[in-house]
Structure 1
Amino acid sequence: MKLFLIRHAECEHNVGQASDNAKDPNLTDNGKSQVDLLARHFRDRGVRFTHVFSSDLDRASDTARGICQQQLGGRLLAPFQTSLLKEQYFGTMEGTRWQSAAPASTTGTPGTWQGGEPRYTGEESMASMRSRANSFLNDHLLPVVQNKPSSSNEEVVAIVAHGVILQVLWECLTELFDPRDIHLGPGVSQTDLGDYVQPTWSNSGYMELDVKQLPPAPTMLLAKSSRVVPVPGSVQTSIKTPGSLPFSGWAMTVMSVDNTSHLTGTQQVPRSGGAIRDTVHESRQQIMDDFYRLTGAA
């Protein structure tokens, strides 16, 4: 199975530097361009999705639909929308502009990654987000693998969601594997995954994962032959009984982290005050990334 964890394209509140789920901001013109570039990137790579899941918030579902519309061949694909992939609800922070000096959300800091209660009134807790992420994995992703006929083609799955919930989903996904069977692919450094194995996503950035059933050979031999190294950090802290894990006998290789190669180039999008060129390196994108790392905003 090929698995792509994708963050939605740029929306109005990304530009306005505010966290907001309740009003569900629309994609900007620049965000729509990002969707088109991402969809063409997958199409030109020959990536043909068999399943596309998305948050039911517009900025994610619009990104997912844009990807589906440019798929080549086969049946017409439409994203399956679910509230399980919705972004964290920020409570009294909803709609407020952020400042770099503001205290980060309690549930979004590495020190409270396994738990923690919300600091702001009404903010969704980490426990609630983990419950949603695990429900999605159990109800939607695992059946894709378990119900696949052995003779059929490889499943290729896209999950389009938001910055914080993608981090939670990734954490929960790693817990389904024997930690010794999670690897980094060629060209992916340990620093790409960040501290506490918390990767980050730019707007329309994606993580690519290759999930394969292991042959009847020692894991260490497989790791040596494929020249990959175990993922560092929290997913390596405890080794569970392999047979008790849903993906026992499977290996997951991280092929890329926050891949935004589709955004490099000279694409320009008219905006008030000028055109945006190479948005991945635009200072505004850097500001959003800094905020995202500080507070985990969508």
Structure 2
Amino acid sequence: MKIYFIRHAETVHNVGQTWAGTTNSALTNHGVLQIQRLAAFFRSAAVKFEHVFTSDLSRAVITAEGICNPNISDAQVMVTPLLREQHFGSREGIRIHAATTASRSPPTVEPEPAETEESMRTRANRFLEEYLFPVLLSYDDDQTEKDSAIAIVAHGIILRVLWNCFMHAFPLGNVSYSPEVDALLATRGGILVPFWSNTGYMELSVSRMSTTPSTRVESLLSGWTITVLSVDNKTHLRDLRRTRGGIGSLQHDTKQRSIESFFKR
């Protein structure tokens, strides 16, 4: 079984280097092309998602729906606020550089604090316990060896928190890495701190070693193995160029049939 941790496509806030945690940020034209590339890549690799989970913020929902259309017909996209990005408090909607500069000046009003790491861990663990782990534990041994696939579409910071919570549920000795990821670890002191570009994904291979008769999630997951196959995989974006003239960075107009409508034929 494969699990894909996927970050949403590019947004206008990404391009504008603006804090947008729980703020809904529109996709750019380039972001739409990223989704199309990712969907085509999964289709060519014969990846068919049986379960798709996404943050309820529009940039994640649109990304999730985009990769599902050509790949699955039966599974529905499961939307949950548990996968939302960190709320940045008073920094929401402010340019990153401006927020950094402002932080050096005495505040005129009490700033709204950002969501804490503990709060994000609570959300991540709830998602695992209420959504992902029940799905994993519903598979029998044969199903985990087949080409089953699960997608989790969310945001850079919450994906990192989710990954850490996910890994803590499995015995350390049951986790291995592909040669590609091993090479990455060698450059980072042997510690995996994952990161995500827009539509970049982490790919995991998960399988069950044995069936353990227990009602505890921790005990059940001790019979599973994980192989981290790739981190921030952007193979699908190879040779993708941003449309010139600033068009690629513009907010995508959902009324347009395709980006080609920008150009005269």
Report the secondary structure of 1:129's partner residue.
helix
- CA-CA distance at 1:203 after TM superposition: 0.5
Q: CA offsets per residue over residues 123-169 of structure 1, 9 Å max, x none?
A: 10111100000000111111112112445445310000000000000
User: 1:249 deviation in Å?
Assistant: 1.5
Q: Which residue of 2 aligns with 1:270?
A: 243
| Residue correspondence of structure 1 range 276-287 to structure 2 within 5 A | none
Q: Give matches, 1:91-130, under 5 Å.
A: 91-99=89-97, 102=100, 121-130=112-121
Give the alignment partner of residue 159 of structure 1, picking from 152, 155, 159: 152
RMSD: 2.8
Paired residues for 1:169-184 under 5 Å: 169-184=162-177
Paired residues of 1:92 and 1:122 also in contact (CA < 8 A):
yes
Gaps of 5+ in 1: 106-118, 217-242, 277-298
The answer as to 2:76 corresponding to 1:83 is: no
8 Å Cα contact 2:91/2:99 also seen in 1: no
SS of corresponding position for 2:86: coil
Structure-1-length-normalised TM-score: 0.71
Where does residue 27 of structure 1 map in the other structure?
27
Of all paired residues, the percent bearing the same amino acid is 42
Residue 36 (structure 1) aligned with residue 31 (structure 2): no
Q: SS in structure 1 opposite 2:97?
A: coil
Determine if contact 1:8/1:162 at 8 Å carries over to the other structure.
yes
Provide the rounded CA distance (Å) in 2 between the counterparts of 1:160 and 1:212: 21
- Alignment correspondent of 1:139: 130
Question: What count of residue pairs does the alignment treat as equivalent?
Answer: 234
Quote the Cα distance in structure 2 between the aligned partners of 1:80 and 1:244: 24
Unaligned runs of 5+ in 2: 104-109, 212-216, 250-265
One-letter amino acid of the counterpart of residue 125, structure 1: T
Contact 2:28 2:248 in 1 (8 A): no
Change (3 A) 1:194 1:157: farther
2: CA distance, partners of 1:274 / 1:151: 48
Which residue is equivalent to 2:221? 247
One-letter identity of the residue aligned with 1:137? L
Residues 177 and 246 of structure 1 are in contact (CA less than 8 Å); yes or no, is this contact kept in structure 2?
Answer: no
- Matched residue, 1:259: 233
Runs of 4+ in 1 over 6 A off after TM superposition: none
Relative contact order, higher structure (CA 8 A, sep 6+): 2
